[in-house]
Amino acid sequence: MLVRKVIGGLACLVGIVWILQGLDIRKGDGMSGHGEWAFLGGILLALGVGLLVGARRGSPSD
């Protein structure tokens, strides 16, 4: 369960960074201003949230 929380949290953070870069809000990288990174970041963020929710609902023996 702890592993799911850590991976889910990291996926959320990376997803947010990718969204900000793709939307050209966070500048200074080759990813900046490329919409596909915002799209991929949204997918990664959703997966991270799913992992966090799943870890919260999981059994204590996980």
User: Does residue 11 form part of some domain?
Assistant: yes
User: Does residue 36 form part of some domain?
Assistant: yes
User: Does residue 52 form part of some domain?
Assistant: yes
Per residue in 18-44, pLDDT (tens digit) is: 999 999 888 777 778 888 999 999 999
Can you count the helices (H) and strands (E) in the chain?
Answer: 2, 0
User: Does residue 45 form part of some domain?
Assistant: yes
User: Does residue 26 form part of some domain?
Assistant: yes
Question: H/E/C letters for each residue in 42-60?
Answer: HHHHHHHHHHHHHHHHCCC
Report the pLDDT value the prediction gives residue 59, as an integer from 0 to 100: 58
User: Does residue 20 form part of some domain?
Assistant: yes
| Number of folded domains that form the chain | 1
What does pTM read for this prediction?
A: 0.82
User: Does residue 35 form part of some domain?
Assistant: yes
User: Does residue 62 form part of some domain?
Assistant: no
> Burial code of 1-21, b = ≥16 C-beta within 10 A, e = fewer?
eeebeeebeebbeebbbbbbb
Residue 49 contacts by C-beta under 8 Å, 6 or more apart in sequence? 8, 12
Q: Which residue range is the domain that position 18 belongs to?
A: 2-57
